[in-house]
Amino acid sequence: MKNILKILRAERDWSQADLAEKLGVSRQTVNAIENEKYDPSLPLAFKIAELFEKKIEEIFVPEQKNNSH
């Protein structure tokens, strides 16, 4: 799952620790989501969307399947 969390965070000049505190998760979790190593649960995705006042699908985008046939 691709996401624009790093961009949204940078726009607000928040550190990963700042965002982690606002979301009630660890900094490692924010880092893992930003680096697309971990996809958040639906409740956490809603929390992120609410915090940035956006829809979930504006932040998280499913990776396109490479259909070469």
Partner 1 sequence: MKSIEVMVKSLRNVAIWLFVYAIVLTASGSILLLSPVTNNFLGMLIAVSPVIPVAFILHSIMQLLQHSDELQQRIQLLSIGFSAATTGLGTFAYGLLENYIGYPQFPPLPSSFILPIMVFLWAIGMLYFKWRYR
Tell me which residues touch partner 1 (CB under 8 A).
Answer: 24-29, 31-32, 37-38, 40-41, 44
Rounded to the nearest whole angstrom, what is the least distance from the CB of residue 23 to partner 1 in the complex?
8
Torsion angle of alpha carbons 10, 51, 31, 33, nearest 10°?
A: -120
CB of 49 within 8 A of CB of 55?
Answer: yes
- Distance between CA 22 and CA 25 in Å, rounded? 8
**Taking the complex as a whole, how short is the minimal distance between the CB of residue 67 and partner 1, in angstroms?**
29
CB of 68 to partner 1, least distance (A): 30
Is the Cβ of residue 8 or residue 34 nearer to partner 1 in the bound state? 34
